[in-house]
Amino acid sequence: MLVIIHASLPSEDYWKLVLPHTPMPKAIRDLLQPRRSKICGKSVDTSISYSNHQSHFNKAFQPTGKDAQDDSNGGSFFLETYLHPGKKMKLNLATTKNEAVFLPHQVPETIPFSSNKLSEILSRFSRKENSAEAEVIKKALEECEEPAMEGEAKYCAKSLESLIEFNTSKFGNRNVNVLTNEVKTMTSQEYEFGVGMRKIAGKSVVCHEVYDPYAVFYCHTFIFLTCMIPLVGADGSKAKAVATCHIDSSAWHPKHVAFKVLNIKPGTVPVCHFLHSNPMVWIPK
């Protein structure tokens, strides 16, 4: 599916044109805020306009080697049997905060986006070698270059247009909804699952923000059970968070932290987890 725009449009008008029946989530609107950034040595207005052009699960959750045994994200995993009001879990649903925004479609197309060009990328964006920012960029590039797992389609979207194009192409139409976390409390605390849980079975596209210099989303699709879960924090705050349940985990690394935390074996029962890194889940209406 190609998104073709024949006139210059402000970003929100562009969304309304191609997705007229889908409200733009705040998480996406925040990525379109007018700012100025240094791109390739030039000052670029990152308020997005559109002119004549055509328009994982984060592998950090499916790592290999020693990374697979890191239990720092273990608290996010749970079993499908947990999906009922009254269940309690300690969660950190804080939103990732950085200055990255979507660039106009034609700009990232002119910027290297390859692990082979890491030094050039760091230089263009004034990032120091061996810095925390450099590591984020390196991991994102490697993640985007990894081959898809069996049954998975994946793509790293570097603009709003490419995000829409990939995600709607997986459903064959633009009749979609976009789910995002709605969280105000930025600290870890115990949450209780509330009443009104929404479950959507079938194909969905899950996207995570993975890049630093400008907004890039790692998107991939599987057959998930997607859940929008109302939560009540120990401090009384209310939230809504997106979680997905992988029906088949048999292809995951056998030492994945989820199997350790949940005391299960690969491929035996669905594995669920909450989504982080400014996630969004695209589902058919």
Band (pLDDT 50/70/90 cuts) for residue 97 is low
Reported as a single tens digit per residue, the pLDDT across 25-41 is 988 888 885 544 444 44
* Predicted confidence band of residue 42 (pLDDT cuts 50, 70, 90): very low
* 40 contacts: CB under 8 Å, gap ≥ 6: 110, 111, 124
From CA 121, how far away is CA 128, in angstroms rounded? 10
Q: What pLDDT was estimated at residue 65?
A: 37
Per-residue pLDDT, 235 = 92
Q: Closest Cα partner for 229 from 261, 191, 262, 270?
A: 191
**What pLDDT does 85 receive?**
96
CB neighbours (10 Å) of residue 149? 16
The SS3 of residue 32 is: helix
- The confidence band for 239, taking pLDDT boundaries of 50, 70 and 90, is very high
**274 DSSP β-pair partners:** 243
Sign of CA dihedral 142, 182, 97, 46: positive
What are the Cα distances from residue 44, in Å, to 35, 47, 100, 103? 8, 9, 13, 9
- Which band of pLDDT confidence, cut at 50, 70 and 90, is reported for residue 10? low
Residues belonging to the chain: 285
Q: Is the pLDDT of residue 94 over 90?
A: no
64-to-116, 192, 253 alpha-carbon distances in Å: 21, 32, 6
pLDDT of residue 76: 86
Higher pLDDT, 1 or 266: 266
Residue 71 has pLDDT above 50, yes or no: no
State the CB neighbour count (10 A cutoff) for residue 22.
18
Q: pLDDT tens across 12-28, in order? A: 777 888 999 999 998 88
Task: Count CB-CB contacts under 10 A for residue 200.
Answer: 17
Q: Across residues 40-59, what is the average pLDDT?
A: 32
Check pLDDT > 90 for residue 53. no
Question: Looking at the predicted structure, is the pLDDT value of residue 140 above 50?
Answer: yes
Closest C-alpha to 60, from 70, 52, 45? 70
Neighbours of 225 (CB within 10 A): 18
Contact 201, 39 (CB under 8 A): no
Band (144; pLDDT cuts 50, 70, 90): very high
CA-CA distance, 171 to 221, in Å (whole number)?
11
Q: Is 93 helix (H, G, I), strand (E, B) or coil?
A: coil
Asked whether the CA dihedral 57, 59, 60, 63 is positive or negative, the reply is positive
Q: For the segment 185-203, what is each residue's pLDDT rounded down to a tens digit?
A: 777 899 999 999 999 888 8
Q: Whose CA is closest to 191, among 275, 86, 279?
A: 86
Check pLDDT > 70 for residue 100.
yes
How many Å apart are CA 254 and CA 44, to the nearest integer? 46
CA-derived radius of gyration, the chain: 19
Estimate to the nearest angstrom the gap between the alpha carbon of 262 and the chain centroid. Answer: 24
**What are the pLDDT digits (tens) for 153-196?**
999 999 898 999 999 999 988 999 999 998 887 778 999 999 99
Tokens of 156: 């790293």
